[in-house]
Every structure is written in C-alpha cells, then in structure tokens.
C-alpha cells in the first residue's frame, strides 16, 4: 500500500458521451443535434467524418456493459442524447418514449451488473431544432426553460435508478469553441466582427451565462421535486488545465496563472459557489460579460451537490503587456508548452492541447478545493492520447504503456491530493472506455483504453491500460 490512498467506497470507472459513441442517428425517432449538422459542413471535421456510426454503441449496450464488468469498473459516466428523448428539443415538443426506454433499460442493466450509472444530461449535442427555432444556447428565456423541461423528463424517467447527475459537460468548450473559435458546433466565430459594434465578441459570454442559469434551474427542479425520493446528487462538470508561470520570478506571470484559471474554470465555478463572476473577468470584459440579476444569482449560487472535474494537462503562462483583444477569452496571456528555460510542460500527445503533468492535477484540485471551501469532487474525465497512435500496427497500439503510465501518475496524484492535502474526492472516470469520435479531430485521435476497430465492424479490443487500471485503483483504494 502506498502512503497515499483513496477512500474505501471510491467509485472509479469510465466515461463516454452520446454523440461520440452511439451512432444510429436516425433510429427510434432521434432528431438531429447541432453536431449532426456541423459534421455535414465540409472542412469542419478531420477526414470529413461524423458520429453516424462511431462505436455503434446504441446497438451494443450489452457488449459495453460486459466490457465495463470485465474491466472491473464500479461506475460508468455516459451522456443522454437530448434529441433522442425530445427529438425537437422544446418543452412543447413531443417526448419520444423509445428514446427514454433505451436509456432507462441501459441504466437498469448497469445497476444490475453492479455498476453505478452517472448521467450527463448535456455533452454538447443540442437538438438542432432549438438552434434553428430560436438560436439555441444564445436564447436565455427559451433555452433555460427547455433545458429545465428536458431535465425534468429525465429525472422522472430514471427515478432512483440514477443517483449521480451532471447537468452540463465542459460549458467552456461549448461557449468558446462553439461561439468564439468556431472549432465546435454550431461553429460561430468572433472574427465575424472585430469591431466594438459587433455582437459576436459577446456571444461566448452570453452562452456561458445561459448555461449557468439552465444549470441552476435544473438543479432547483431536482431539489424541489425529485431529490428527496430519489436520493441523488447533482452537479456540473467543468474543464480546466493547471497553469505554471513561464517565468516563476515574474509576479505578472504568476498572477496570469491564476487569471487563466479564473477565465476558464471560475467563470462557471465562482457564480456557482459565490454568486458572481471573477473580478478579473469583469475587469477585462466589462459589460460584454452579462450581469446576474439578484434572482439569477440566488438561483445559481449553491447549485452544486458536487464538483465534476475534467482534467487533462497543464500549460506555461506568460502575461501580455498589451491591451487585450476584443475576442480574447483567456485573460490576456499566452499559453505555452515550454517555459523560459525551454523545458517542456510534459510529453507530446496526439491532441495539440494536451501535455500531461500529474503534479498539476494535484495542485489544481487543491487550488479548487481551497477556493470553493472543500466541496466534494468527482473527477468526471481524465485521460490521454498518444501522438501517432492511430498509425501504429494493432499489436503495438494495444500495448499502450504510455497510457498506463499516465493513469499511474494521475491516480497517484489524486491519492496524494486526497490523503495528504485533504481533498474530498469520491470518484474518478477515465476518458474513455473506448476510442470514439473525437469531435473536430474525427477518428484520428484515440482516447480509449479499448481499441475500436472502425473498419472491422466496430470490434472492441481492450488495450493494456484497460487491464492495468483496475490494478492501479486496487493499489490505492483503502480496504477497510
């Protein structure tokens, strides 16, 4: 037993998301989501791919559960496709019983297999109908009501079968990548207008605000009408990287490190824990960052039963002395992979944004725990890709020692955060159970502990990491 440890009933398992694994886009009454439409735009997705087939998980629920069991998972985090449940998305649109039945059976089957289901209500695949009808995430009045309605339909359908709910996955990604850089659906960019008269540099902040209100409304609905009888917990999942100063001697770089975390994580975390946006964001963005009315602030503040943490990597941060650009979303700084001395933050991976640094995980969860008064954490995603993994011969690809090392490093860092720093962490989901549709990167990036043979009938082949991960947790989880 190492010095550090994780609590006895620690829930570890794997995570996926509906559009990334399911396929079956037109089956059993499913409506389009903004990702179906986005994938049809030439040039948006590597290789012109889409989630039309993906891992075919919609048809392989039994196989996926058997795989989870085989790997020893105690929990499985998956997301619901809103447009399978309400094909057009809105509160006055028909509910699709077939969609509900599919997921309820899946959750019950997981439970029967001894695996705790953890449901994400929204992992980026907004019903296309809502985007078309009223501008989707940009429309506060409509979106908040429609999300609350969708959440209520789900809470009612799953009852006590599901005890861990996540409203939104990584709202930063949907807001910034969907409404500023345009890398993700619906692909809106802030360079449509660099002028001060333009509205486009406001859009990501409006979308972020609407996510927070919709989260608050869904949590209130759960607490008012479901939590008591179903006995579950509900939270949001936020992504964010650790930051190290480019020049540790420079106080401005050190300040910029915190500012970067504020712009990515505290943008959502501060309203949820404090009822307001970080001062650094207000200072830079002025009135482009929406204001909370007192009612809105009250709805959002205190709306997390737990903090869902997605974490992958770290960056070096160098401050900028120039005025921030109108479309800057990071806090007027540079994100770098090398520091002043030319040292790399971590090894290269297939994803340009991902360089692992396990100690950064420990530092970040402690930083967040301190800032937010010691909340309960569930790590809802953590994992890696390997540069060139997709090109390797199968045998080598299955021998993913680098991923085993990644999990050893990160799980060890988490155990340190728990045992040595006093962080209250109850669960961990590795990203991902299997290789899947990696959004704009298509199928070129493989995050799975299980290889999916896309050309060979979606057959699953567990990699070495799939077998090792249970041993890693076994080593750290306290026995009595």
Point out the residues that are catalytic: 170, 381
| Minimum distance of ligand NCW from residue 438's CB (angstroms) | 5
| Angstrom distance (rounded) from CA 53 to CA 383 | 23
Contact between 175 and ligand NCW by CB under 6 A: the answer reads no
- Choose the stretch contacting ligand NCW; rule: CB under 6 A; options: 3-11, 35-43, 166-174, 366-374: 166-174
Contact between 191 and ligand NCW by CB under 6 A: the answer reads no
| Angstrom distance (rounded) from CA 88 to CA 40 | 19
Q: Residue of minimal CB distance from ligand NCW?
A: 353
Contact 428, 378 (CB under 8 A): yes
Contact between 337 and ligand NCW by CB under 6 A: the answer reads no
Member of 6, 11, 17, 118 binding ligand NCW (CB under 6 A): 17
| Minimum distance of ligand NCW from residue 429's CB (angstroms) | 10
CA distance to 263, 341, 406, per residue, from 182 (Å) = 18, 33, 30
Contact between 167 and ligand NCW by CB under 6 A: the answer reads no
Number of Cβ within a 10 Å radius of residue 323 = 9
| Minimum distance of ligand NCW from residue 173's CB (angstroms) | 5
Q: Which is nearer to ligand NCW, 149 or 384 (CB)?
A: 384
Q: What angle do CA 380, 386, 387 make, to 5 degrees?
A: 135
| Minimum distance of ligand NCW from residue 236's CB (angstroms) | 13
Contact between 173 and ligand NCW by CB under 6 A: the answer reads yes
CA 295, chain centre distance (Å): 27
Q: Which is nearer to ligand NCW, 227 or 259 (CB)?
A: 259
Contact between 389 and ligand NCW by CB under 6 A: the answer reads no
Contact 188, 200 (CB under 8 A): yes
Q: Which is nearer to ligand NCW, 292 or 329 (CB)?
A: 329
Contact between 381 and ligand NCW by CB under 6 A: the answer reads yes
| Minimum distance of ligand NCW from residue 255's CB (angstroms) | 22
Contact between 34 and ligand NCW by CB under 6 A: the answer reads no
| Minimum distance of ligand NCW from residue 115's CB (angstroms) | 20
Member of 33, 83, 169, 175 binding ligand NCW (CB under 6 A): 169
Member of 181, 193, 301, 399 binding ligand NCW (CB under 6 A): 181
> What string of DSSP letters covers 60-88?
-HHHHHHHHHHHT-SEEEEE--HHHHSTT
CA distance to 36, 379, 450, per residue, from 161 (Å) = 30, 21, 27
Member of 96, 174, 210, 310 binding ligand NCW (CB under 6 A): 310
Query: Which residue do the tokens 């020893």 mark?
Result: 72
Member of 12, 378, 439, 473 binding ligand NCW (CB under 6 A): 439
| Minimum distance of ligand NCW from residue 380's CB (angstroms) | 8
Kindly state the number of chain residues that form the binding site for ligand NCW, as judged by CB under 6 A: 13
Contact between 116 and ligand NCW by CB under 6 A: the answer reads no
The residues, ordered by sequence, that sit 6+ positions from 345 with a Cβ below 8 Å of its Cβ are: 244, 313, 314, 315, 316, 337, 338, 339, 355, 357
| Angstrom distance (rounded) from CA 84 to CA 145 | 18
| Angstrom distance (rounded) from CA 448 to CA 226 | 34
Number of Cβ within a 10 Å radius of residue 160 = 11
| Minimum distance of ligand NCW from residue 249's CB (angstroms) | 28
Q: What's the 3-state SS for 239-251? A: ECCEEEECCCCCH
Tokens found for residue 323: 């005025």
- Choose the stretch contacting ligand NCW; rule: CB under 6 A; options: 88-96, 168-176, 243-251, 467-475: 168-176
Q: Which is nearer to ligand NCW, 7 or 442 (CB)?
A: 442
Q: Which is nearer to ligand NCW, 344 or 353 (CB)?
A: 353
- Binning the chain into helix, strand and coil, the percentages to the nearest 5 are 45, 15, 40
Number of Cβ within a 10 Å radius of residue 311 = 25
| Angstrom distance (rounded) from CA 247 to CA 358 | 20
Contact between 438 and ligand NCW by CB under 6 A: the answer reads yes
The residues binding ligand NCW (CB under 6 A) are 17, 20, 169-170, 173, 181, 310, 353, 381, 431, 438-439, 447
């Amino acid at each position: 037993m190492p010095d550090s440890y994780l609590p006895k009933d620690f829930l570890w398992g794997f995570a996926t998301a509906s559009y990334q694994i399911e396929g079956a886009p037109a089956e059993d009454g499913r409506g389009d989501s903004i990702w179906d439409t986005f994938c049809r735009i030439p040039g948006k997705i590597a290789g012109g791919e889409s989630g039309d087939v993906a891992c075919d998980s919609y048809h392989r629920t039994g196989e996926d559960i058997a795989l989870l069991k085989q790997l020893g998972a105690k929990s499985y985090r998956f997301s619901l496709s809103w447009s399978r449940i309400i094909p057009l998305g809105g509160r006055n649109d028909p509910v699709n019983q077939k969609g509900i039945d599919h997921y309820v059976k899946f959750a019950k089957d997981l439970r029967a297999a001894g695996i705790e289901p953890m449901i994400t209500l929204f992992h980026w695949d907004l019903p296309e109908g809502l985007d078309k009808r009223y501008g989707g995430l940009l429309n506060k009045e409509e979106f908040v009501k429609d999300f609350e309605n969708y959440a209520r339909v789900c809470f009612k359908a799953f009852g006590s079968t599901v005890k861990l709910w996540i409203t939104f996955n990584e709202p930063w990604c949907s807001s910034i990548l969907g409404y500023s850089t345009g890398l993700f659906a619906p692909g809106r960019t802030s360079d449509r207008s660099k002028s001060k008269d333009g509205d486009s540099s406001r859009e990501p902040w409006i979308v972020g605000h609407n996510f927070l209100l919709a989260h608050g409304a869904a949590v209130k609905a759960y607490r008012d009408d479901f939590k008591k009888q179903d006995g579950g917990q509900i939270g949001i999942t936020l992504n964010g990287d650790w930051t190290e100063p480019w020049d540790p001697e420079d106080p401005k770089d050190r300040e910029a490190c915190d500012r970067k975390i504020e712009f990515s994580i505290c943008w959502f975390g501060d309203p949820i824990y404090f009822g307001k946006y970080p001062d650094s964001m207000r200072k830079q963005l002025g009135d482009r960052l929406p204001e909370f009315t007192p009612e809105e602030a009250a709805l959002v503040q205190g709306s997390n039963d737990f903090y869902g943490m997605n974490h992958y990597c770290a960056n070096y941060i160098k401050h900028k002395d120039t005025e921030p650009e109108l479309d800057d979303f990071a806090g007027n700084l540079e994100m770098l992979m090398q520091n002043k001395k030319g040292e790399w933050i971590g090894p290269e991976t297939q994803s340009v944004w991902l360089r692992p640094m396990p100690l950064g995980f420990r530092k970040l969860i402690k930083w967040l725990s301190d800032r937010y008064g010691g909340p309960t954490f569930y790590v809802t995603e953590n994992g890696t890709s390997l540069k060139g993994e997709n090109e390797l011969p199968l045998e080598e690809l299955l021998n993913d020692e680098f991923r085993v090392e990644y999990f050893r490093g990160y799980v060890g860092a988490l155990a340190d955060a728990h045992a040595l720093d006093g962080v209250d962490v109850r669960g961990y989901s590795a990203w991902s159970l299997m290789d899947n549709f990696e959004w704009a990167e298509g199928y070129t990036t493989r995050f799975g502990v299980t290889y999916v043979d896309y050309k060979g009938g979606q057959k699953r082949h567990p990699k070495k990491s799939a077998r090792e991960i249970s041993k890693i947790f076994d080593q750290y989880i306290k026995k009595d």
